[in-house]
Amino acid sequence: MRTDRKLILEDGSQYYGIGFGAEKDRVCELVFNTSVVGYQEILSDPSYMDQAVVLSYPLIGNYGICDEDYESKLISPSALIVRDRNENPSNFRATRTLEEVLEENDVPGLYGVDTRKLVRSIRDLGARRGLITGADRPLEEGLEIIRRTEIPHDAVKRCSCRKKWYSRTANPRYQVVAVDCGMKTNIVRMLNRNRCNVTIVPWNTGSEEILSLKPDGVFVSNGPGDPEDVPEVSGMLREIRGKIPLFGICLGHQLMAISCGARTYKLKFGHRGGNHPVLDVRTGKIEITSQNHSYAVDEQSLSGTGLSVSHINILDRTLEGLYSEEDKMFSVQYHPESAPGPCDSSYLFEKFTKMMEMNKDA
């Protein structure tokens, strides 16, 4: 196999492959996803902003790209790395190939890489930054480019909506304000399916404006980056906590915890994929969940916050869910809307509507 592109990691390791998509040099953090299907949903998930996604499943692109399956208007990852890519999809719904979409959105791809070795490296040594570049670039030059490239801290600002917008449903019973920190489309669908009219607002919308919309509940979405980079959201939550039912997922979960005084920390390599077992400590039930995050809430920091633990990750015992009955709020680290992923956790949207119902009756 004749290689023309390569990945240089900040530890000096190199992985050679063949370029596809946009022929761009790009510095980004390397993460891996273990999903078997759903590469289009992964590409359009804003939580992957500024990251190069390594897909552990070996063949990608075989069912093409379908117009109806995007999870946002953005193609968020900075790069895509796969073992093999298929540019002749067999799917009557397909409208584009994977390579065409990467080209259109200026995203470089790399295939022919030993992704098993690369995933094991990320798992064992942790997430690191890397440079996708030409195969002939000298190693020291590539390492200097990585060192000079600043780590961005405005990912949520770049992927959130600019103005508020609405998603209506037939026979609505609840009015929900959803704070867009990088929200996936299926979240809005799930809220609509549970009889919620949804007003989606930008990430930096203040508490007064949110409460002026007279919602029955507030939802805080997933999103990219370090939760400490968006104090505006945790500050807003601190001001409305206890006044109205709150539901947060992923980044929203972390921001709710911070608003109550808890701390977060960065995981060694994060959780990504649709096969993570999570235990509901109150019922003993195990859910197979879809996840995508680099940070977690520090369980040791919960003392004095008023928060209680609802869910724990079975694989590494990290905290996966919190709640406060007094403040009418709950959150989970994983993605109950999935897309892609299992549907074990979709009941959480029903739980949110029941909480809003009880609050209206009170």
From the list 211, 298, 314, the residue with the least C-alpha distance to 261 is 298
Contact yes or no for 144/133 (Cβ under 8 A): no
Q: In what order do the strands lie in the sheet with 286-297?
A: 165-167, 196-202, 174-180, 217-220, 246-249, 329-332, 319-324, 308-313, 264-280, 286-297
Q: Which of 29, 41, 287, 337 is catalytic?
A: 337
Question: How far is C-alpha 82 from the geometric centre of its chain's CA atoms?
Answer: 19
Residues 216, 174: Cα–Cα separation, whole Å: 6
Structure tokens at 68: 């109806």
Residues 305, 320: Cα–Cα separation, whole Å: 16
**153 tagged catalytic:** no
State the angle between helix axes of 347-361 and 185-193 in degrees (0 to 180), rounded to the nearest 10: 50
Looking at the DSSP bridge assignments, the partners of residue 284 are none
Contact yes or no for 287/314 (Cβ under 8 A): no
Residues 298, 305: Cα–Cα separation, whole Å: 12
Q: How many CB atoms sit inside 10 A of residue 359's CB? A: 14
Q: Which of 29, 250, 253, 293 is catalytic?
A: 250
**335 tagged catalytic:** yes
- Which residues make Cβ contacts (< 8 Å) with residue 127, sequence separation at least 6? 29, 30, 31, 268, 269, 270, 294
Q: What residues act catalytically?
A: 250, 335, 337
